[in-house]
Amino acid sequence: MIKLDILSDPICPWCYIGKARLERAMEAEPDHPFAIEWHPFQLNPDMPAEGMDRREYLETKFGGKENAVRVYGEIAKHAEEEGLEIDFAAIKRTPNTVDAHRLIHWAGIEGKQNAVVNALFKAYFKEGRDIGDHEVLCDVADSAGLDASLVGKLLKSDSDADSIRERDSHSRQMGVNSVPTFIVDNQHAVPGAQPSDLWVKVIREMKEGQAEA
């Protein structure tokens, strides 16, 4: 197997789109060599712990309502092309995602990272839920087959919070400045929500390389 590390944030729409494109390629090449691991990267590392009103966040980030509408209109178009449902109107708050990243980390210990990442994307983009809220995160954990009671206890503690921030900071120091970023075999960084065709090509080249070896 070949390690595919994915740096992502569960409130990043391009991460949602990029995951769908990668999965489409893996479905086309079911004998792909990838072993996937998800890693933390916060779009907003300085976000208050309680999050903030989404409209205020977007208008501040993009310099006004018109720019925010334009940017997210483009994102919605790409999501629709991938068959993804996003209800931007339902999203009322932009959360701090440290706790969501802690949940993804714990899911990795149980071998359920992909299920939790899927559930977080669904909760945020399709259902408009606040994935900074502990109750929501416990629901996500339960839906992915994790022990929601244990997750709730861990969320009330500071367990792994510093580690998440340190891993995020380390990625920035290594030059990562946007997500999704895919790192193939600890060597090649592939930034952005790349099209499925590119991933199919990468997978085929890797399989050919393994066969030659």
CATH number, domain of 28, equals 3.40.30.10
In the chain, pLDDT over 90 holds for what percent of residues?
94
Band (pLDDT 50/70/90 cuts) for residue 12 is very high
Cα torsion for 122, 157, 154, 107, to the nearest 10°?
A: 60
pLDDT value, residue 193? 97
Band (pLDDT 50/70/90 cuts) for residue 211 is confident
Band (pLDDT 50/70/90 cuts) for residue 163 is very high
Residue 202 has pLDDT above 90, yes or no: yes
Least confidently predicted of 104-118, 122-136, 142-156, 197-211: 197-211
Give the count of domains, the chain: 1
Give the phi and the psi of residue 53 in degrees, each rounded to 5: -55, 130
For the segment 24-41, what is each residue's pLDDT rounded down to a tens digit?
999 999 999 999 999 999
CA 73 to CA 193: how far, in whole Å?
17
Residue 19 neighbours by CB under 8 Å, 6+ apart: 6, 8, 117, 121, 180
Band (pLDDT 50/70/90 cuts) for residue 197 is very high
Whether the Cβ atoms of residue 93 and residue 54 lie closer than 8 Å to each other: yes
Residue 162 has pLDDT above 90, yes or no: yes
CA 109 to CA 2: how far, in whole Å?
19
Give the phi and the psi of residue 188 in degrees, each rounded to 5: -115, 120
CA 136 to CA 81: how far, in whole Å?
28
Name the residue range of residue 42's domain.
2-212
To which H or E segment does residue 5 belong? strand 2-8
Mean pLDDT over 197-210 rounds to 93
CA 179 to CA 41: how far, in whole Å?
7
For the segment 65-115, what is each residue's pLDDT rounded down to a tens digit?
899 999 999 999 999 999 998 999 999 999 999 999 999 999 999 999 999
Mean pLDDT over 173-200 rounds to 95
Residue 153 has pLDDT above 90, yes or no: yes
For the entire predicted model, the pTM comes to 0.95
pLDDT value, residue 209? 84
CA 107 to CA 102: how far, in whole Å?
9
Mean predicted lDDT score pLDDT of the chain: 96
Residue type for position 43: L
- CA-nearest of 76, 66, 138, 131 to 100 is 131
